[in-house]
């Protein structure tokens, strides 16, 4: 029992996992972490879903970078996801590269999957998480919580397994990827595939990985996570370690230096092929399409309580996207709360210090009756 | 302690019903309806701080604007739609009223009466826009952009073919008679419906009599 819970867990489940794209995945590997203790009737489990390049190290140091977890401010004793009361389970999504099945993991022939890994969807990620919860003995979640792509998973959870989700917290998310969202992702994918080291995805175990391409993909994406106001306040037109422009193509501007650093350091901890697969899954996400073109149908008959939160400076998944989800939930008669919070950090606000976010999430979870 | 107009509404909402409180503020009425009458209460509120407050106390509240966001709700989704002290702050009170009666089978609407004698005196003798207990802000900063009197409101609902099922008038925190309510009442609460209303005596306003008990609520819309 005890080896099921804790930090740095890894499990190989037999599957098979039937995939939206038609194939099957078996076995299914999942890396995950849990925080807090599952109570005897397994009624206090919160599934926490991470974003595109996140992972299961939500409140523990990252094994590669050594940095603190990505949501330490929200997960812990007395925090909004209170680990004195709840058992927080955070799995690495399939397709990713931190212990779950993905292009970097090994297929049954012992070699890396590479591009032989099947294209997956957000719902496939969710179904894999359901297998993990079965394994852990969690029939029904007290709540599913996620921001950005994590919010998409939370929505998909509520639509796919309504009877298994008491509450859903959906932060800075969308029910479908817009043309603009897909466009930015395509820039990133093309940057990776244009890197000669990508070699059709067959670089695992080789000397060189497509780091330059992946870094550019990250740089482009990173811009979409920030607000113009945030960039201006942080960097303006200030120069990097110099007093005058060099009339060359070095990183003269601080913002250039910052983006280059973000891009490069990202390649230390993330796999380029995983980036392709996960961005594809996000682009394919359209919850209404999965339900006859009507988003409300995704939630009809659901008993799940919903809490949606957007940020006023988020232009990646703007408030209008959350509102259209709220509209659908109202049409379906589901209990829903929604608030647009004010924060200067753009889409990244959900990861940063926004005290109002803590208050809303904490209050909503507390009111779930545990 | 609920505000007096909210207490009237709370007393007259049937138990176990579905309610939408538009402009729910900090959720005081919703909390009472939920805790004391097992009402399935939902709220809409413009102010982000109030919404956070409501969500933090476990209420289902969405940030929204009565003028634009009521159209999101399906027809007949609620037994009651409530609009307390908000009508006079909307851009188009008449359209908001129509939306309330589209979403709710019945609607409670409360508002401060701009024809109260103190308001009249203030305007008549002072020649200035009144600043009173219920209208505490100066003309340039007040959110009350559509001042309305009880008689104005009666005329509007009559013109729109809306039935008044109940009306309560408050002077201070006390109920007052409907005789000369337009002069004596600081504040009015109306219960409205689109249903044809047949009364054995006469149509029109029934003073301070609770509305007839509602039939059992329909099954939740799920």
Of A81, A85, A93, A22, residue with least CA distance to A56:
A93
A-chain residues near B51 (CB < 8 A): 337-339
Mutate: best of B52, B73, B77, B217, partner A, most A CBs <10 A: B52
Record: contact B58-A334, CB cut-off 8 A: no
Please enumerate in sequence order all residues whose Cβ is within 8 A of that of A346, keeping only pairs 6 or more positions apart, or say none. A225, A226, A227, A230, A311, A313, A314, A315, A316
**A176 vs A285: CA distance, rounded Å:** 5
Backbone phi, then psi, for B21, in 5-degree steps?
A: -100, 105
A331 lies within 8 A of chain B by CB: yes
The model's confidence at residue B62, banded by pLDDT at 50, 70 and 90, is very high
The ipTM is 0.85
Q: Is any Cβ of chain A less than 8 angstroms from the Cβ of B60?
A: yes
The pLDDT of residue B58 is above 60: yes
SS3 state of residue A200: helix
Catalytic member of A101, A347, A348, A349 = A347
Query: Residue A367: what pLDDT?
Result: 86
- Looking at residue A174, its pLDDT comes to 98
Q: What is the pLDDT of residue B130?
A: 87
Q: Is residue B206 predicted with pLDDT exceeding 60?
A: no
Which pLDDT band holds residue B211 (cuts at 50, 70, 90)? very low
**Mean pLDDT by groups of 10 residues along chain A of 370 residues:** 88 96 96 97 98 97 95 97 98 98 96 97 98 98 98 98 98 98 98 97 93 98 95 94 92 95 96 98 97 94 95 97 95 94 95 94 87
Q: Among candidates B88, B96, B189, which has minimal Cα distance to B146?
A: B88
pLDDT in tens, B24-39: 999 999 999 999 999 9
Q: Give the model's pLDDT for residue B200.
A: 40
Residue in B55, B63, B221 closest to A364 by CB: B55
Give me the helices (H) in A28-175, please.
Answer: 122-136, 149-160
Kindly state the tokens that stand for A215: 């870094």
CB contact under 8 A, A356 and B52: yes
Task: Check whether B46 has a pLDDT greater than 60.
Answer: yes
For helices B28-37 and B4-12, angle between their N-to-C axes, nearest 10 degrees:
30
Known catalytic residue: A96?
no
Average pLDDT over all residues of chain B? 88
pLDDT for the residue B56: 86
Residue B198 pLDDT > 80, yes or no? no
Question: Does residue A233 sit at the B interface (CB-CB below 8 Å)?
Answer: no
Q: What is the pLDDT of residues A145-189, one digit of tens each?
A: 999 999 999 999 999 999 999 999 999 999 999 999 999 999 999
Looking at residue B44, what is its pLDDT?
96
Query: Would you say B16 and B41 are in contact if contact means Cβ atoms under 8 Å apart?
Result: no
A335, A192, A202: which is closest to A276 by C-alpha? A192
Cα–Cα distance for residue pair B128/B132, rounded to 1 Å: 12
* Alpha carbon of B72: minimum distance to chain A alpha carbons (Å): 6
Selected catalytic residue, list A55, A314, A348, A349: A314
- DSSP β-bridge partners for residue A31: A10
Q: Which residues of A touch B48 (CB under 8 A)?
A: 339-342, 356
pLDDT of residue B38: 96
C-alpha angle A204-A208-A212 in degrees, rounded to nearest 5: 110
Q: How far apart are CA A87 and CA A365, in angstroms?
A: 13
A148 among known catalytic residues: yes
pLDDT at A362: 94
pTM value? 0.91
Task: Give chain B positions within 8 Å (CB) of A360.
Answer: 52, 55-56
pLDDT at A230: 92
CB A156 within 8 A of CB A121: no
pLDDT of residue A139: 98
Q: What percent of chain B has pLDDT over 90?
A: 74
A347 is catalytic: yes
A302 contacts chain B (CB < 8 A): yes
Residue B210 has a pLDDT of 44
Judged by CB atoms closer than 8 Å, whether chains meet at B56 and A326 is answered as no
Cβ of B62 within 8 Å of Cβ of A338? The answer is yes
For residue A34 the two structure tokens come to 């849990």
In the structure, what pLDDT confidence band is assigned to residue B172 with cuts at 50, 70 and 90? Answer: confident
């Amino acid at each position: 029992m005890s080896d099921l819970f804790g930090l740095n867990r890894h499990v190989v489940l037999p599957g098979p996992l039937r995939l939206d794209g038609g194939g099957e995945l078996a076995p299914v590997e999942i890396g995950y972490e849990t925080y807090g203790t599952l109570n005897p009737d397994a009624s206090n489990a919160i599934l926490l879903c991470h974003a595109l390049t996140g992972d299961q190290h939500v409140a523990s140091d990252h094994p590669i970078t050594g940095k603190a977890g990505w949501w330490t401010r929200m997960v812990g004793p007395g925090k909004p996801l209170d680990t004195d009361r709840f058992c927080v389970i955070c799995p690495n999504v399939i397709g990713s590269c931190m212990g779950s099945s993905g292009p970097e993991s090994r297929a049954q022939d012992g070699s890396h999957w590479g591009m032989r890994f099947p294209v997956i969807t957000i719902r496939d990620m969710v179904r894999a998480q359901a297998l993990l919860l079965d394994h852990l003995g969690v029939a029904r979640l007290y709540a599913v919580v996620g921001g950005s792509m994590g919010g998409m998973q939370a929505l998909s959870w509520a639509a796919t397994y309504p009877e298994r989700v008491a509450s859903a917290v959906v932060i800075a998310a969308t029910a479908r990827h817009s043309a603009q969202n897909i466009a930015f992702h395509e820039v990133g994918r093309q940057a990776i595939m244009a890197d000669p080291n990508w070699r059709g995805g067959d670089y695992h175990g080789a000397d060189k990985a497509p780091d330059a391409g992946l870094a550019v993909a990250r740089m482009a994406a990173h811009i979409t996570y920030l607000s113009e106001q945030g960039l201006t306040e942080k960097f303006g037109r200030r120069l990097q370690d110099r007093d005058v422009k060099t009339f060359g193509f070095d990183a003269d501007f601080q913002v250039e230096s910052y983006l280059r650093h973000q891009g490069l350091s990202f390649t230390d901890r993330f796999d380029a092929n995983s980036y392709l697969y996960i961005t594809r899954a996000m682009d394919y996400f359209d919850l209404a399409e999965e339900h006859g073109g009507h988003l409300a149908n995704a939630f009809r008959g659901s008993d799940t309580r919903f809490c949606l939160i957007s940020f006023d400076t988020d232009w990646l998944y703007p408030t209008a996207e959350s509102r259209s989800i709220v509209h659908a939930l109202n049409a379906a008669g589901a209990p829903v709360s929604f608030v647009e919070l004010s924060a200067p950090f753009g889409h990244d606000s959900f990861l940063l210090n926004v005290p109002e976010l803590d208050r809303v999430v904490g209050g909503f979870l507390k009111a779930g009756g545990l | 302690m609920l505000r007096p107009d909210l207490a009237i509404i709370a007393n007259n909402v049937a138990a176990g019903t579905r309610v939408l409180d538009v402009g729910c503020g900090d959720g005081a009425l919703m909390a009472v309806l939920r805790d004391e009458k097992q009402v399935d209460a939902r709220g809409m509120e413009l102010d982000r701080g109030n919404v956070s407050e409501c969500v933090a106390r476990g209420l289902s509240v969405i940030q929204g604007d009565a003028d634009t966001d009521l159209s999101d709700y399906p027809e007949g989704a609620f037994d009651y739609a409530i609009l307390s002290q908000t009508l006079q702050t909307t851009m188009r009170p008449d359209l908001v009223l129509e939306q309330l009666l589209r979403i709710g089978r019945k609607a409670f609407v409360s508002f401060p009466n701009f024809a109260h004698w103190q308001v009249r005196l203030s305007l008549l003798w002072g020649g200035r826009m009144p600043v009173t207990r219920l209208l505490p802000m100066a003309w340039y900063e007040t959110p009350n952009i559509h001042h309305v009197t009880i008689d104005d409101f009666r005329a509007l609902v009559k013109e729109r073919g809306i039935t008044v099922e109940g009306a309560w008038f408050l002077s201070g925190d006390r109920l007052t008679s409907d005789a000369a309510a337009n002069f004596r009442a600081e504040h009015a609460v109306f219960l409205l419906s689109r249903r044809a209303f047949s009364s054995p005596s006469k149509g029109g306003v029934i003073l301070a009599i609770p509305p007839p008990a509602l039939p059992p609520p329909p099954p939740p819309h799920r």
